[in-house]
Amino acid sequence: MNPAMRAKRRSFLLLLLLTTLWAGLVLRLWWIQIAATHHFSAHDIDLVKSAVKQRQQSIMLNTGRGEILDRHGRSFTGVEQQALLLFPLAKGRDDLEEALARVAHIVHQPEAALLRTLQQAKTPVLLRDEEGKVVPLGEQQAKAVNELHLPGILALPVTERYPPDGVAKHVIGYVNRNPDIIRQAYEPEWKEGKMTLDSMVGASGLERSFDRFLQGVEPSILSYYVDGSGAPLQGLNVRYNRQDNAFYPLSLVTTLDRDIQQRMEEIADHNGIREGSIVVLDAKTGDVIAMVSRPSFDQTKVEVAGGAWQNHALKQLPPGSVFKTVVAAAALAEGTVSPTERFFCDGEYGKYGFSCWRKEGHGWLTMDEAFAQSCNVTFAQIAKRVGGEKIEEYARRLGLAAPVGHLSPQLFKLADFRQFDGEEAGSVFADGAPHSDEGVLIQTAIGQRDVRMTPLQAANMMVTILRGGTPGTVRIVSDITYRNGVTFHHFAPQLLETEGIDRVTAYKLQRLLANVVSDEDGTGSMLQHAAWTVAGKSGTAQTASAGAQLYHQWFVGYAPVKEPRYAIAVVVENQPANRSHLATAVFAQVVGALAAQSAKSDEPHAGSSPE
């Protein structure tokens, strides 16, 4: 081939390459701008909506999700109130100071506070006070603000789902955008266009476990559409979408008491509990009255990796001597030990370096006394007699080997629907651990090694004992209701699918638990001066933390002893070895608060005559 022909061939190939590239570019632009505008890339991005959002300033006034209420109908997820909304576009007004002065006069707030809020805003914001709470407006104030017709400044009804001063945050949980959950749990709705990958879904707590019921109407959003300079576009300056449906969204009626919940959280924070939990159950029904978890977290800015959002009341921990309740139940029910049988403790046991917490030993003492004084050596001897198989069996009978939260096997085609999100099961022996090995057995007897239970299970164990040995599940939601208050579904109380313990053994355990407090040498003797008479069991469990000797402190019990109202579990995690038993002190404060609340509730109403 001569040079001229080669030159022509190169020119042709270059032209062909350029033509191919141009055609590919045109095809790509066609695909992006026309064919795939609503479903671009593997992430299913809606390019039209994304383009609109670039020129949109919006704020959510109501999520559209159902409310979560306490047993008296008080909301945990915010109440509707008139509030002042400030959009950044208002910063460009020539008469800004004059406008803010007029608004400040109406809402009774300093003009400087409005100006500062507006200047700092990069997105639409609500006017808040120094504590971060939304400044509420009266109907007349809201009307007066809106009659000013100030672009970017107006008043509307707002329901803040997670207010800064909210309580029961771990129980309620939070919502976020999670495309994976949408694809897995809501595939039909997603494919039908009823949900997008941007839809908010429950991520933890009741928001997650009841997400399908709380998913309701579209959220109410106020939007301004602006041009490149931030000025409102004519004809598109305000879009306000507010849903009004008499039946939806559905609401949850929980078994919680908001007043008691708030008081329990105050006690936890006052005592500086950085990690731990408080669980208060109704002693008769097993319903959750209050459930506190620490550390706390911000539901609007969740650091998922940090883990503060996890509910510690549902997480399994080594219970320490609280587990001696199970060993005692097995020994008494099987007739292995009599409550009055005597044992000797010299502070040491066997060849494993196993010792009693009282280094010099307890000397001679009965089983009753050994339980009250939490003698490790005595319970090592008792556990050896009872055997690992029986200890594991009675843990199961007392509801410590499986989740205890209310379970609906088939709830509107939802298989095995559990009310508690993330509840752990608990255990006695690890898989493959030899149940009959003496070294394993004596550590198990005192709630160490592989023994795990959740604070919720521990409190429910007290309810089981008070119920005469019949184990039941724990409810935290009693009803799902329509928006108008009519019941959509009722969760009836239910028993656990496991055999319990006999009434005689349950009665003997009640006596043992009472002696822990009434015995002058009992580990709970400091509770003798509590507002109500108390029965219960303390526990101190060493953790596996590296580099530090830390302990989980427990006190689990009930009050008052003669007519029990509440079963309670208090756990303070990761405490130094030389720290006093904070869990017992907190338990006393919890009982005091419950006694005060009960006295308040029992007071005759104004105008009524005493009996």
Of 57, 236, 83, the closest CA to residue 155 belongs to: 83
Interatomic CA distance for residues 78 and 162, integer angstroms: 6
Residue 113 host element (H or E): helix 111-120
Q: What are phi and psi of 66, to 5 degrees?
A: -70, 155
The separation between CA 212 and the C-alpha centre of its own chain, rounded to angstroms, equals 18
Catalytic residue (one of 199, 321, 374, 538): 321
The bridge status of strand 354-355 relative to strand 136-137 is unpaired
Per-position b or e across 510-531, b if 16+ CB within 10 A of its CB:
bebbbbbbbbeebbbbbbeebb
Of 603, 567, 568, the closest CA to residue 584 belongs to: 568
The HSE-up count of residue 136 (CA atoms within 13 Å, CB side) is: 9
Of 520, 532, 538, the closest CA to residue 575 belongs to: 538
Of 132, 131, 129, 153, the closest CA to residue 141 belongs to: 153
Alpha helices (runs of H) in 178-230, residue ranges in sequence order: 179-185, 187-191, 205-209, 211-214
Separation in Å, CA 73 to CA 41, 157, 164, 485, 537: 45, 20, 20, 10, 34
The tokens 């004084």 sit on which residue?
373
Separation in Å, CA 328 to CA 275, 395, 445: 29, 11, 10
The bridge status of strand 68-69 relative to strand 251-254 is parallel
Residue 414 host element (H or E): strand 414-418
Sign of torsion, CA 462 467 472 473?
negative
Residue 419 contacts by C-beta under 8 Å, 6 or more apart in sequence? 206, 209, 210, 405, 406, 407, 475, 476, 477, 491
Interatomic CA distance for residues 245 and 248, integer angstroms: 6
Sign of torsion, CA 522 528 531 532?
positive
Question: Is 321 tagged catalytic?
Answer: yes
Active-site positions read 321
